[in-house]
């Protein structure tokens, strides 16, 4: 490409800053522009400014969400491990308890218009069984390329996968009969399931078992009376497993340690088992 | 209904994009705590951001059930990836709303591709882009103020900006709808955003 051509292309890319800030690029262009951004400090600064402008358009749109959304999100949060902080600012675990808390009535009024926020009364009491589940654990697969994170190195594929996973999880959570159950021991090892009996689906999280040797894997099984266990999939680190096709006869879930790649049938005793009766299964 | 004067709105408008207020720090601090696995902090953050997130998503997605779904995804994503927030690069609220907007736009585009919205689109195309705000239940002062500032833009600036931001169209689609060359739409978007900044942020 000629020098002029390159310059033109550059100029052309640069003019995408405003559409980018408005999320008005198609995926290909978005990718191309983000690649361009990673090598252009001036563009990054401009994009940040224009994005702050775009966010102003959101000021006027606030609306109270359905009340039930809160419980669903909080249930999901309790069952969902976080990404490793990685390159985030250093964080001292002790700070959580000491840091001053702002009450929610101090929220920025402008985001509400004249409408009062949904009150936080009836904040769901955290049952001890759930409390330690969402610990600060190793990296989960979910990634975000939100603008100010400037994660330009993320590939779109990875992002798509992560989004699809998040959507699957959110789907289960938004089922009207979604309920949570968990089983944990004193050391904090355990299993959590958020399940919808009507949809036959569940999001299952395993936590506290640490790293297995590289040739071993945690496999999830569906247990039904008088039937061989059915494999529901392999856990990848702390990523929740979304399982489908659960029917009324599903009495419990079990997890075994299997050779890498999984087994046809369990080859060892379960490390943990979880009854599904309380979430609407079993007969 | 709390009384809100135009002056206070202006001050708040200035405050949020400036560096002198306290409210923004709340969400920023909370998000850092959330990144450390603090569920209580997340509950508080939920109290602050769930309304703005849900409102923005609903504005773009329209369908209430889908809006709820997307909002839940966004909030869960917030929990999972709070560690990615870098306070040095902008406010927590901006970061969160940027994420919410991206997800809402992704959803509305796939819905559009699936043709679900064709009918409503056809009806809507006869009206100016900003008119659908009217269907919102609450017409707060902030809404009024943003609207007033949008009114100060030229027609093409306003339409370019709102068709993209509120309706989730790509700039190519915007160009097509407005029968304008691509370059013109890109410029109108930039000028529109800059003027909005002057009107909303430059008043303090």
Residue B75 φ then ψ, to 5°: -70, -35
Share of chain B above pLDDT 70, in %: 73
* Domain boundaries along the sequence of chain A: 3-60, 68-86+124-142+163-283
For B13-39, the pLDDT digits (tens) are: 333 333 334 444 488 889 999 999 999
Continuous H helices in A80-214 = 95-98, 156-173
Q: Which of residues 59-78 of A touch B (CB under 8 A)?
A: 59-66, 69-70, 72-74, 76-78
Tell me the two tokens of residue B37.
């696995």
Instruction: Give B63→chain A minimum CA distance, Å.
Output: 13
Closest CB to B80: pick one of A82, A101, A107: A82
d(CA A269, CA A57): 57
Q: Do B162 and A70 touch (CB under 8 A)?
A: no
d(CA A54, CA A50): 6
The pLDDT assigned to A85 comes to 56
Closest CB to B146: pick one of A48, A60, A134: A60
For A106-146, the pLDDT digits (tens) are: 323 333 332 333 333 333 333 323 222 232 222 222 222 22
d(CA B193, CA B190): 5
The pLDDT assigned to A157 comes to 59
d(CA A265, CA A272): 16
Residues of A in Cβ contact (< 8 Å) with B59: 58, 61
- Torsion A96-A240-A166-B88 (CA) sign: positive
Inter-residue contact B35 to A85 (CB < 8 Å): yes
pLDDT score of B166 more than 50 = yes
The pLDDT assigned to A170 comes to 75
Closest CB to B68: pick one of A65, A100, A117: A65
Instruction: Give B153→chain A minimum CA distance, Å.
Output: 13
Inter-residue contact A144 to B84 (CB < 8 Å): yes
* Domain boundaries along the sequence of chain B: 7-117, 127-204
The pLDDT assigned to B157 comes to 94
For B118-130, the pLDDT digits (tens) are: 555 555 554 444 4
Nearest to B87 by CA among B22, B38, B24, B18: B24
Q: What is the mean pLDDT of chain B?
A: 78
- What is the gyration radius of the CA atoms in chain B, in angstroms? 18
Question: Please, what's the b/e burial string for B151-169 (b: 16 or more CB within 10 A of its CB; e: otherwise)?
Answer: eebeebbbbbbbbbbbbbb
Q: What is the DSSP secondary structure assignment for residue B134, as one 8-state letter?
A: G
d(CA A124, CA A59): 29
d(CA A18, CA B196): 13
d(CA A145, CA B94): 14
Residues of A in Cβ contact (< 8 Å) with B13: 59, 110
The DSSP-derived string for A191-206 is EEEEEETTTTEEEEEE
The pLDDT assigned to A226 comes to 80
For B124-153, the pLDDT digits (tens) are: 554 444 434 333 434 456 677 888 889 999
The pLDDT assigned to B122 comes to 59
CB atoms within 10 A of CB B135: 8
Q: Which fold has domain B127-204?
A: Arc Repressor Mutant, subunit A (1.10.10)
Regions of chain A where pLDDT drops below 50: 87-154
The pLDDT assigned to A3 comes to 55
d(CA A243, CA B187): 48
The pLDDT assigned to A14 comes to 82
pLDDT score of B187 more than 70 = yes
Q: Which fold has domain B7-117?
A: Rna Polymerase Sigma Factor; Chain: A (1.10.1740)
Inter-residue contact A23 to B161 (CB < 8 Å): no
The pLDDT assigned to B41 comes to 93
Residue A272 φ then ψ, to 5°: -160, 150
The pLDDT assigned to A4 comes to 53
The pLDDT assigned to A62 comes to 86
The DSSP-derived string for A225-262 is TTS--EEEEE--TTPPEEE----TT--EEEEEEEETT-
B191: left (phi over 0), alpha (psi -120 to 50) or beta: alpha
The pLDDT assigned to B20 comes to 35
d(CA A135, CA A53): 36
Closest CB to A96: pick one of B33, B59, B197: B33
The pLDDT assigned to A94 comes to 34
CA distances from A71 to A122, A125, A179 (A): 10, 11, 10
Torsion of CA A159, A160, A161, A163, to 10 degrees: 80
Q: A3-60 has which CATH code?
A: 1.10.10
Which residues, in sequence order, are CB contacts of B121 under 8 Å at separation 6+? B112
Q: What is the DSSP secondary structure assignment for residue A190, as one 8-state letter?
A: E
For A205-246, the pLDDT digits (tens) are: 887 777 788 888 999 999 888 888 889 989 887 778 888 888
Q: What is the DSSP secondary structure assignment for residue B170, as one 8-state letter?
A: -
Residues of B in Cβ contact (< 8 Å) with A131: 39
Provide the number of CB pairs (under 8 Å) joining chain A to chain B: 328
Residues of A in Cβ contact (< 8 Å) with B200: 56, 59
Q: Do B94 and A51 touch (CB under 8 A)?
A: yes
């Amino acid at each position: 490409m000629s020098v002029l051509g390159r310059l033109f292309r550059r100029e052309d890319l640069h003019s995408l800053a405003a559409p980018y800030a408005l999320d008005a690029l198609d995926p290909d262009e978005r990718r191309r522009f983000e690649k361009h951004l990673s090598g252009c400090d001036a563009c990054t600064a401009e994009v940040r400014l224009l994005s702050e402008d775009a966010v102003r358009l959101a000021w006027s749109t606030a609306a109270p969400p359905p009340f039930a959304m809160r419980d669903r999100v909080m249930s999901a949060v309790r069952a969902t491990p976080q990404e490793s902080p990685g390159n985030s600012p250093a964080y001292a675990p002790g700070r959580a308890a000491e840091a001053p808390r702002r009450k929610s009535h101090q929220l920025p009024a402008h985001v509400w218009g004249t409408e009062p926020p949904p009150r936080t009364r009836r904040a769901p009491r955290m049952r001890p069984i759930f409390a330690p589940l969402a610990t600060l654990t190793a990296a989960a697969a979910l990634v975000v390329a939100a603008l100010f994170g400037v994660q330009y190195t993320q590939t779109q594929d990875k992002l798509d996968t992560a989004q699809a996973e998040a959507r699957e999880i959110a789907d289960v959570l938004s089922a009207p009969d979604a309920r949570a159950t968990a089983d944990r021991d004193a050391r904090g090892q355990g299993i959590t399931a958020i399940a919808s009996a009507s949809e036959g689906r569940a999001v299952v999280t395993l936590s506290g078992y640490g790293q297995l040797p590289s040739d071993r894997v945690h496999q999830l099984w569906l247990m039904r009376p008088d039937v061989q266990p059915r494999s529901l999939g392999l856990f990848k680190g702390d990523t929740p497993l979304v399982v489908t096709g659960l029917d009324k006869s599903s009495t419990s879930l079990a997890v075994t340690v299997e050779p890498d790649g999984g087994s046809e049938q369990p080859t060892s005793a379960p490390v943990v088992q979880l009854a599904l009766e309380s979430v609407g299964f079993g007969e | 209904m709390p009384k809100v004067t135009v002056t206070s709105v202006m001050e708040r408008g200035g405050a949020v994009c400036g560096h002198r207020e306290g409210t923004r720090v709340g969400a920023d601090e909370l998000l850092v705590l959330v990144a450390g696995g603090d569920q209580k902090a997340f509950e508080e953050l939920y109290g602050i951001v769930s309304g703005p997130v849900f409102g923005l998503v609903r504005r773009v997605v329209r369908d209430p059930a889908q809006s709820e779904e997307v909002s839940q995804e966004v909030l869960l994503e917030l929990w999972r990836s709070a560690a990615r927030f870098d306070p040095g690069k902008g406010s927590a609220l901006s970061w969160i709303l940027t994420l919410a907007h991206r997800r809402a736009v992704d959803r509305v585009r796939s819905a559009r591709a699936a043709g679900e919205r064709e009918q409503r689109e056809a009806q809507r195309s006869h009206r100016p882009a900003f008119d659908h705000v009217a269907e919102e239940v609450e017409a707060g002062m902030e809404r009024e103020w943003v609207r007033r500032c949008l009114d100060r833009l030229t027609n093409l600036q306003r339409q370019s900006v709102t068709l993209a931001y509120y309706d989730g169209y790509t700039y190519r689609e915007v160009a097509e709808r407005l029968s304008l060359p691509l370059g013109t739409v890109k410029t109108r978007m930039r000028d529109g955003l800059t003027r909005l900044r002057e009107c909303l942020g430059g008043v303090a």
